[in-house]
Amino acid sequence: MILSVCGKGGVGKTTVSAVAAQALSREDGRRALVVDADPAGGLAVALGLEPRKTLNDVRKEIIEEVKAGGRDEKDLAVSLDYLLAEALTEQGNLALLSIGRPEDAGCYCKVNVILKDAIEGLAGRFDATIIDAEAGIEQVNRKVLSSVDYVLLVSDTSAKAVKVARTIKGVADQMIGGQGTGLLVNRARDADEAGAVERGTDLDVLGWVPEDDTVRRFDGEELSFLELPDCPARAAIVTALEKTGLI
Amino acid sequence: MALFEEQLTEVRNLLDGWRGSGSGRDFDCSAREPWPDGPSLVLEEETALELGNPSAASISLLIWSEGGGVEDGKVTLVGPDVAEAASASVPFGQVVIAGGTFPDEYESYRDVRDAVYDTRLAGFSVRTMPSRQSVWCRVSRDAAGRGFSLVDLGAALIDSLKSLDGVSGAQVVFVTAGVDEVKKLAGAAAGAQRIVDAMMKMYSEENYDCETCEYQDVCDTVMDLKKIRQKLAEGKGSG
């Protein structure tokens, strides 16, 4: 199963993704790929992992391979498999792949297609894949996430964040199609505030996550969410993830 | 000089040395029960033995012989096997030699190469980086516990190669004895890669201007490459 966590910037996607990764890390026998698709790289920090190489580094190396010539598609495919494995940061049953920040100019559509195929192939070897998507609709719109099974929309209680979530669902329905979609309302003061959000949207609301001092402390002190203890926010996120079928 | 003649001679000399010093062990795998195929993902925490990690020495070499001399069905281990390794990660050298007839060099090379690339065994992950001539493998604890040996890998590679038209025999050499032993393969691997790169360039770029080609030195040494070039140039002229 491939689950992508999407939403407006600053609503807590990375926290939800990190808790999802932690929940999967506790499931013996299941191997999970965690993709930090936000160029800011917040998920790696949240998990206390330090990638030595990013997907963008892999992309640059493959471009150099293409430029050097003498490599057919099969050579490039096995090279990409090798480089992607080098880019994985492993922790127990988890493997993190960070997208990194593209710095070079120019169009490398063919390389990007090869990369997308390779990531989908890589995801196919894991039991579950979580993608912490870039804020907004761009990655969905550009079909970067075309093989996602479930789009977990995250918003806070602001009308703007819920509206962005609604927009993302519309784009996902058009560009992906057939995927599951649900909204998780993050950082609600109480059930009344979360209920108000639910009444104001046609999105399927999976649940709401309370403000939580433990999560705030882990964020503030850059502690690894892989060590996050049981707390109300964690429990709410895990309950929502169970509804998606991820865990 | 035939296509990989120099590399074959180099590998045979190394094999003689390893066998002479008692560090090379030969296994006949012609009647060996095949190890089952299976998924190729092995995570670090599941790994019993890692071979050729990118931070360790790793050299992979694939060559062929049309003139005989291939020790068909033989796997030679230079260094510890999976169950014998003293550490969880060892340097790795892999030499695959196919014997037979390879009339269409480029297509033959791709077939032989793909047969190696596509060998997938349960509990064993393998990744190849052609431009670095390196191969990176992991043996899962489960596979190691069930007795997986590098001889099983060698046998699978030999079976895969011998399923190809034109391949009449194959042998494999694995080196795990240490960085210095693995690095003895570096010259042969680099030479083979230059020949393959030159061949790939001829076919993919269709540019037969020797004066501007960076592989001119290779073609000057390996006469078979000149024959390929001539064949391709004539084909282009008649087309």
Please tell me the predicted confidence (pLDDT) of residue B81.
98
Is pLDDT above 50 for B239?
no
pLDDT tens, B144-186? 999 999 999 999 999 999 999 999 999 999 999 999 999 999 9
Give domain status of residue B200, yes or no. Answer: no
Interface residue of B127, B133, B142, B205 to substitute, partner A, most A CBs within 10 Å: B127
> What is the pLDDT averaged over residues A135-152?
77
Chain B residues touching residue A30 (CB < 8 angstroms): none
Across A9-18, A31-40, A79-88, A217-226, least confident range:
A31-40
pLDDT confidence bin for B214, thresholds 50/70/90: confident
> What is the pLDDT averaged over residues A203-221?
97
What CATH number does residue A164 fall under?
3.40.50.300
| Domain membership of residue B109 as a residue range | 5-189
Please tell me the predicted confidence (pLDDT) of residue B209.
75
Q: Nearest CB to A125: which of B41, B130, B136?
A: B41
What CATH number does residue B121 fall under?
3.30.1650.10
pLDDT confidence bin for A20, thresholds 50/70/90: very high
DSSP string across chain A: -EEEEEESTTSSHHHHHHHHHHHHHTSTT--EEEEE-STT-HHHHHTT---SS-HHHHHHHHHHHHHH----HHHHHHHHHHHHHHH-EEETTEEEEE-------S--HHHHHHHHHHHHHHHTTSSEEEEEPPSSSHHHHTTTTTT-SEEEEEE-SSHHHHHHHHHHHHHHHHHT-S-EEEEEEEEESSHHHHHHHHHT--S-EEEEEE--HHHHHHHHTT--GGGPPP-HHHHHHHHHHHHHT--
Chain A residues touching residue B113 (CB < 8 angstroms): 74
Is pLDDT above 90 for B61?
yes
Q: A202 at the B interface (CB within 8 A)?
A: no
Number of domain units in chain A = 1
pLDDT confidence bin for B218, thresholds 50/70/90: confident
Please tell me the predicted confidence (pLDDT) of residue A103.
62
Give domain status of residue B67, yes or no. Answer: yes
Q: Which of residues 66-125 of B touch A (CB under 8 A)?
A: 110, 113-114, 117
Please tell me the predicted confidence (pLDDT) of residue B157.
98
Give domain status of residue B88, yes or no. Answer: yes
Is pLDDT above 70 for A194?
yes
Across A35-39, B65-69, B82-86, B139-143, least confident range:
A35-39
Please tell me the predicted confidence (pLDDT) of residue A213.
97
Number of domain units in chain B = 1
pLDDT tens, B190-201? 999 999 988 887
Q: B55 at the A interface (CB within 8 A)?
A: no
- Comparing A176 with B224, which gets the higher pLDDT? A176
| Domain membership of residue A165 as a residue range | 2-244
Is pLDDT above 70 for A144?
no
Chain A residues touching residue B116 (CB < 8 angstroms): none
Question: Closest Cα of chain B to A45: distance in Å?
Answer: 21
> What is the pLDDT averaged over residues B100-106?
89
List the B92-100 sheet strands across, edge first: B24-28, B74-78, B167-175, B92-100, B58-65
Which residues, at least 6 apart from B213, have a Cβ–Cβ distance to it below 8 Å?
Answer: B198, B201, B207, B219
Give domain status of residue B98, yes or no. Answer: yes
Q: A218 at the B interface (CB within 8 A)?
A: no
pLDDT tens, B24-37? 999 999 899 999 99
Give domain status of residue B218, yes or no. Answer: no
Q: B43 at the A interface (CB within 8 A)?
A: yes
Q: Do B43 and A90 touch (CB under 8 A)?
A: yes
